[in-house]
Structures are given as C-alpha cells and as structure tokens.
Amino acid sequence: MREKPLAGQAALVTGANSGIGEAVARCFADAGAKVAINWVAHEEATNAIVEDIKKRGGEAIGVRADVSNEAEVQAMYAAAIRAFGTVDILCANAGLQDDAPFTEMTLQKWNHVITVNLTGQFLCAREAAREFIRRGPRPEVSKAAGKIICMSSVHQEIPWAGHANYATSKGGVRMLMQTMAQELAPHKIRVNAIAPGAIQTPINRSAWDTPQALRSLMTLIPDQRIGQPDDIGRAAVWLASDDSDYVQGTTLFVDGGMTLFPGFATGG
Ligand code: BGC
C-alpha cells in the first residue's frame, strides 16, 4: 500500500472519540486524510484526539452531532465542509448497545438502538452521498467520487440472544449498505461495510475484563485473541483507499474467525 493512501482527502468518522471510531480516525489521519471527529459526549476526549493528530502533523476537527438527529447531522456536514472544502470519505461508525432479555426489551430500548445504529447510518450516509454527487469525482485524489464505510458487526449474521435490538440494527445495516452500493455505484460512489468481531473497547468490557470472561470469549474466536481497535482502523484505510477500488457492496469481516462456527472445530 502507498504510504499516504488517503492524502488530500477529507474524512468524517462518527462516534470517533473512543473505541473503534477513534482508531479509524487516527488511522485515516496517519494515511494522510484530514479528519472530522464526530462526538456526542466527552468533549475532552475529542479534543485530546484532535490535538494528538495535529502533533503528528495531521489535520483534524471535532464536530458534535447526535447521528440520529437529522438537523444535527446536516449541521455537522456543513461544519466539516466549511473546514475542509468537502468530504470524500464517511465512516459511519457511531453505535451503541442497550441490552435486555427479549421479554423485557422496552420500546424505549428498542428505539434507542435502532435510531442510533441504523437510522444514524442512514442519515449520515445520505448526507455523504448528496455531497459526493454535488461535488463529483476528484480524480487528483481518488478514482471514486466518494467512499462510505458502514460499521456493522458479526451480528449482522450471528443471532444474539439478549441483544435483539442490536443484532437487528446490524442486520439492517447490512441491507442498507448493499442497497446503497447498488444505487450509488453509477455515481462512482463505493459503499462497503466492516463487520468487527470482539474488539477490546468499552462497549464490550464485560466480555474481557476478567480472566474468566476472556476464557469464555476465546471459545468463540479461532484466532485465540481479542481484536484491537487498530485491526479495524487498518481495514478501514484499505476500504477507503484506491487499493480497494473494485470492491463494492462487500462486508469485510475482521473477526479472528468468529463467523466460522467455531463450535464445529470439534463437534458436528
Ligand atoms: C458487539 C460486542 C461483541 C462483539 C462480538 C460486537 O458487535 O458490540 O459487544 O463483543 O460484537 O460478539
């Protein structure tokens, strides 16, 4: 891969002040992109990441928006475009879990997860596509007129008891991504997804913060290690770069083999 595969491009990463989003933002910056770091809480964490990126010679700004709020998403794009001139890459990453056993799943919990994880990706991707089409291709920086990367999950495929809202949101992300890819390809826009497995971040702390939990998690991961945020950041750089120019409508699983039915390694 070229040393700065995203040089001259502007990226917006949602939910970028912690976890996977932060790693994607930092990897994008290291790959030469200017980065708009979307956040909704913890401004101090955002500022620290922006400062860090600048110290490393990159360009970054923080942009606050609740991704499930249409007006705030539009204002966020306006701010990013004001700062960087345009947006070339969206990584729609913001997401959360609000778990409950199915019979105790309140409508509030259901809506909370669906509106952030699924409607939020719709709103952010729609604004990105509008900007890509308005602006048209910039062949000096990329073959595509724009790139959208949806952060999905292994749970777009793997059913997940106790997490009906979350698994459904990711199943929805898969179909949203594929439909956008089909519809936007004629505009030279590439749309793909990353499906992370268990990545060591605050969202799944209970799955790794005791030796017992970690042991039990390892039974689900053929590679026998928990993923790190950078595993996803590096994949995102590749999907955003021209090195993946012929990749369209695909989900890249970055999961240490979690989707390989590990129970069948010895059974069946
Ligand atoms: C979830 C994590 C979980 C992982 C693997 C992710 O999408 O957010 O909590 O550890 O999937 O099950």
What does the domain layout of the chain look like in residue ranges?
Answer: 10-256
Tell me the whole-structure pTM to 2 decimals: 0.98
The candidate with the shortest Cα–Cα distance to 101, out of 54, 165, 151, 50, is 165
> What does the pLDDT look like over 72-123, one tens digit per residue?
999 999 999 999 999 999 999 999 999 999 999 999 999 999 999 999 999 9
- Determine the pLDDT at residue 267: 86
Judge contact between 31 and 58, C-beta under 8 A.
Answer: no
Q: Which atom of ligand 1 is nearest to the CA of 207?
A: 10
Say whether 246 is catalytic.
no
Q: Which residues surround ligand 1 with Cβ inside 6 Å?
A: 97, 153-155, 197-198, 203-204, 207
Closest CA to 146 of 13, 11, 5, 8: 11
Amino acid at 180: M
Contact 208, 226 (CB under 8 A): yes
Measured distance CA(249)–CA(87) in Å, rounded = 20
Pocket test for ligand 1, best of 98, 99, 116, 153 (most atoms within 8 A of CB): 153
Q: Is the pLDDT of residue 2 over 90?
A: no
CA 112, CA 121: separation in Å to the nearest integer?
14
In the reported structure, the alpha carbon of residue 155 is separated from the centroid of ligand 1 by a whole-number distance in angstroms of: 7
Check whether 1 has a pLDDT greater than 90. Answer: no
The pLDDT tens digits for 81-95 are 999 999 999 999 999
pLDDT at 64 over 80: yes
Mean pLDDT of all residues belonging to the chain: 98
Sheet holding 10-13, edge to edge: 60-64, 34-39, 10-13, 89-92, 146-151, 189-196, 251-254
Q: Domain 10-256 belongs to what topology?
A: Rossmann fold (3.40.50)
Q: Which amino acid is at 134?
A: R
